[in-house]
Amino acid sequence: MADAILAEGLVKRYGAVVALDGLDLAVPEGTIMGLLGPNGAGKTTAVRVLTTLLEFDGGNASVAGLDVVKGARELRRKIGLSGQYAAVDENLTGFENLDMVGRLYHLGKQPSRDRARELLERFDLVEAADRPVKGYSGGMRRRLDLAAALVAKPVVLFLDEPTTGLDPRSRLGMWDVIEELVAGGTTVLLTTQYLEEADRLADKIAVIDHGRVIAEGTSDQLKAQVGGERLELTVASARDVALTKAALAPLAIADISVDERGNHVIVPVSGGADVLVEAVRLLDGEAIKVLDVGLRRPTLDDVFLTLTGRAAEEDLTDGESGA
């Protein structure tokens, strides 16, 4: 399968600050690539370079088979961009915004209008269609922005933190739309700070930090890098800890650890929910009183923390803001 997005050794400097430091990326046609990283990691810069908004200092990139520098004009016909800040005109109505974009794509008068109405309907904006965007909520603006990115039916779609600042319901709605698009064959590059979002949507995830890809793979592959599942138990009394360790030893695939408070036990396991059931049965057999027990799978948070040494949503004060 051809790569819809291909970047090799992209470098972008802002004075002394290196925003992209040899970024490599390959996104096969019809898939979603999640670009995951903290603020300032270079996510937005990467998107701006790939969408021809920003000139870069080194490396090369192509989107939909077109070079981002030499084929920029042609490339812009094939892509859609929906940014972190809704790129719609506040003074125009939702309909006027979409109609204007359609005209700028030379769709023609009537097709422009038809496409605008069609998208407004799909994005549940029919009632607000003829009101100025000024009065729209954040979620409505984002939906309109995404609709504007879809006016010319792009083959490659760039979504820069599409759900940042959205309420949970709007976020779910946005996810549905993105999934529908990819089911239709669109290739999507999605940047996000939300591990949950990358986990749910992306076929492949590239973790970036300091302008470079530091890990790449499917969600499962990345999780496997930081280790498997574990049982976490809290026993009622510290005296039961030794007993618990003994009881659960048959299930452990590595050393059982006990945390400093003394009544929290962590057991590395494999086998999913069955193991949990077995553990509860064993503890019950020994009459050990358990306050809390759970099977914990590594999250992308764990992945991020392991890879970068810091949490994903921690704000960076140094480096480029990414905006």
**Single residue of 11, 87, 276, 293 touching other proteins by CB under 8 A:** 87
Query: Which residue is listed with tokens 């100025």?
Result: 132
Q: Is residue 110 within the footprint of other proteins (CB under 8 A)?
A: no
Contact pick of 4, 19, 98, 312 for other proteins (by CB under 8 A): 4
Which is nearer to other proteins, 79 or 206 (by Cβ)? 79
Q: Which phi and psi (to 5°) does residue 111 adopt?
A: -60, -35
Judged by CB under 8 A, the residue of 20, 31, 33, 51 near other proteins is 51
Asked whether position 28 contacts other proteins by CB under 8 A, the answer is no
101 is an interface residue for other proteins by CB under 8 A: yes
Task: State how beta strands 32-36 and 204-209 pair.
Answer: parallel
Q: Which is nearer to other proteins, 162 or 298 (CB)?
A: 162
- Please, which contacts does 50-57 make with residues 24 or more away whose CB atoms are closer than 8 Å? 50/5, 50/7, 50/158, 50/189, 51/76, 51/79, 51/81, 51/158, 52/76, 53/81, 54/12, 56/10, 56/11, 56/12, 56/20, 57/11, 57/12, 57/13
CA atoms within 13 A on the CB side of 30: 5
DSSP assignment of 20-60, as one string?
Answer: EEEEEEEEETT-EEEEE--TTSSHHHHHHHHTTSS--SEEE
Our finding on whether 155 is near other proteins (CB under 8 A) is: yes
For the CB of residue 284, give the shortest distance to other proteins in the complex, in Å.
51
Beta bridge partners of 39: none
Instruction: Look up residue 106 and give its DSSP letter.
Output: T
State whether residue 262 is helix, strand or coil. coil
DSSP state of 165: T
The verdict on 204 binding other proteins (CB under 8 A) reads: no
Segment interacting with other proteins, rule: CB under 8 A, options 50-58, 229-237, 251-259, 260-268: 50-58
C-alpha span between 323 and 83 (Å, rounded): 10
Contact between 15 and other proteins (CB under 8 A)? Answer: no
Q: How near is the Cβ of 186 to other proteins at its closest, in Å?
A: 4
Site string for other proteins, 171-190 (x = CB under 8 A): ------x--xx--xxxx---
62 is a site residue for other proteins (CB under 8 A): no
Which chain residues interact with other proteins by CB under 8 A? 2, 4, 29-30, 51-54, 64-65, 73-74, 76-81, 83, 85-92, 96, 100-101, 103-107, 118-119, 121-122, 132, 145, 148, 150, 152-155, 177, 180-181, 184-187
